[in-house]
Amino acid sequence: MKSDDPITNLVSAFARLPGIGERTASRLAFYVLNEPDSLADDIAEALMAVKDQVNLCERCCNLTQAETCSICRAPDRDHSTICVVANAQDLRAIENTGEFDGAYHVLHGVISPLEGVGPDDIHMSELLERLQSADANGGTEVQEVIVATSPSVDGEATSLYLSKAIKPLDIRISRIASGVPIGSELEYTDKSTLSRALSERREL
Amino acid sequence: MKSDDPITNLVSAFARLPGIGERTASRLAFYVLNEPDSLADDIAEALMAVKDQVNLCERCCNLTQAETCSICRAPDRDHSTICVVANAQDLRAIENTGEFDGAYHVLHGVISPLEGVGPDDIHMSELLERLQSADANGGTEVQEVIVATSPSVDGEATSLYLSKAIKPLDIRISRIASGVPIGSELEYTDKSTLSRALSERREL
């Protein structure tokens, strides 16, 4: 598949990234060509470093450079509450709110009956182990699981699976709220979000 | 500036590319992380190859891996006609039309009085040499120069400079046509394009 022309190769390598078409890839390639060498080197180095040095936290499956991630190691966090997320990006999004000081579990995927992704295809067993034995959770017994998968079909399927698996364990399980996003106009909110917001209304 | 976290480094390296903000950069970084190793390696390799192997054609300043580019070396092209373009992307765009079988000259920039870019800051002298001596043009005397810079202020300034420099040399000089783009609606064409299309109307 590789061409003799290094520019063509760079264009097709860039075009394998999500949301980057042939045209953007070519714009990026020529930009890199016209920039001082350091940009190409910096990206190349960062790419290799990321694949060499990043692995999964052996407790929560978050991305880390050590055996356990900095969140699992943090002594001032509440390790009895686990927030379950689909991937490391979602973990970052929740961390950025500054509203959560518990631990995480990164599934690296969601259960998707349509695409044939079952619980064994994602990091589900590691989570269930942490719930069943305090040892697998660094010595702290888990009190609550917050399911923070997206309110999509697959996210809901994952949530359903978790609730069935966790209910018998006598651990509290909760789901992040769905509804009208802050700052958005009711008028332009889609039907399913609005009906969810209605059915999940809470008393004031 | 570099952080200890390889993911943060990759995100900031990607964010230095044009049109890629912090959010897209982070999406790309996590995509690369979740893909098989080969994507990261392929992009890294292609980046290094492009900077190591690509240099300027000594005749036309096009990007090439050899001393002269494949277009300058092609025996079946008309080397007496030189199409002057601002950069290698523009050359590719013209090549893709399949309408031009002459040679090129890549200026790697345009004259921009506002940004203080003069003829000495771009590869202009190499072009004038080719026009003055057949030797500098691989033995073929230049008969015509087509100025294919964009119809922007800077592109026009470059065109003006070229026409002044080339007129005394007894070489034909022409400029690509400007006007209403094919397939577009007159109604939505901007004023300056439309007035140019009117003033440069041609007899049928």
Give the domain ranges of chain B.
Answer: 6-53, 76-175
Contact state of B13 with A46 under an 8 Å Cβ cutoff: yes
Find the CB nearest A31 among B6, B18, B24.
B18
Strand segments, DSSP code E, in A86-154 are 102-106, 144-147
Would the pLDDT of A50 be above 80? yes
Q: How many CB atoms lie within 10 A of CB B91?
A: 24
pLDDT of the residue at B112: 94
pLDDT confidence band for A204 (50 / 70 / 90): confident
For the domain covering B76-175, report its CATH number. Answer: 3.40.1360.10
How many residue pairs from chains A and B have C-beta atoms closer than 8 A? 147
Contact state of B46 with A5 under an 8 Å Cβ cutoff: no
Over residues A100-140, the pLDDT tens digits come to 999 999 999 999 999 999 999 999 999 999 999 999 998 99
B63 at A interface, C-beta within 8 A: yes
CB B111 within 8 A of CB B122: yes
pLDDT of the residue at B2: 67
Cβ neighbours of residue A3 closer than 8 Å, sequence gap 6 or more: A9, A12
- The answer to whether domain B6-53 and domain B76-175 are alike in fold is no
Please report the DSSP string for A30-84 in residue order. Answer: HHHHHS-HHHHHHHHHHHHHHHHH-EE-TTT--EESSSS-HHHH-TTSEEEEEEE
> What residues in B contact A42, CB-CB < 8 Å?
13, 16
Please give the torsion angle defined by the CA atoms of residues A58, A59, A64 and A67, in that order, rounded to the nearest 10 degrees.
-50
Average pLDDT score over residue span A138-153:
92
Average pLDDT score over residue span A174-197:
87
> What residues in A contact B18, CB-CB < 8 Å?
27-28, 31
d(CA B196, CA A133): 77
Find the CB nearest B40 among A7, A42, A51.
A51
Closest chain B C-alpha to A30 CA, distance in angstroms: 7
- Of B75, B79, B82, which Cα lies nearest the Cα of B173? B82
pLDDT confidence band for A189 (50 / 70 / 90): confident
Over its length of 204 residues, how does chain B's per-residue pLDDT go in tens digits? 567 788 889 999 999 999 999 989 999 998 998 887 788 999 999 998 888 888 899 999 999 988 999 999 999 999 999 999 999 989 988 998 898 999 999 999 999 999 999 999 999 999 999 999 999 998 999 999 999 999 999 999 999 999 999 999 989 999 998 888 888 888 888 888 888 888 888 777
User: Mutating which of B50, B64, B123 best tests the A interface, going by the most A Cβ atoms within 10 A?
Assistant: B50
d(CA B142, CA B133): 9
pLDDT above 90: percentage of residues in chain B: 61
DSSP β-bridge partners for residue A102: A78
Contact state of A10 with B65 under an 8 Å Cβ cutoff: no
d(CA B11, CA B3): 11
> Cα–Cα distances in Å, from A40 out to A45, B33, B45?
9, 19, 10
Helix (H/G/I), strand (E/B), else coil: B180: coil
DSSP β-bridge partners for residue A55: A64
pLDDT of the residue at B35: 81
A42 at B interface, C-beta within 8 A: yes
- Of A128, A87, A84, A121, which Cα lies nearest the Cα of A103? A84
Q: How many CB atoms lie within 10 A of CB A102?
A: 18
Closest chain A C-alpha to B20 CA, distance in angstroms: 10
Please report the DSSP string for B141-162 in residue order. Answer: PP-EEEE---SSHHHHHHHHHH
pLDDT of the residue at A1: 55
User: Mutating which of B28, B47, B64 best tests the A interface, going by the most A Cβ atoms within 10 A?
Assistant: B47
> What residues in B contact A30, CB-CB < 8 Å?
87-89
For domain A6-53, give the fold: Helicase, Ruva Protein; domain 3 (1.10.8)
User: Mutating which of A51, A61, A64, A123 best tests the B interface, going by the most B Cβ atoms within 10 A?
Assistant: A51
d(CA A12, CA B92): 16
Reported ipTM exceeds the 0.85 cut: no
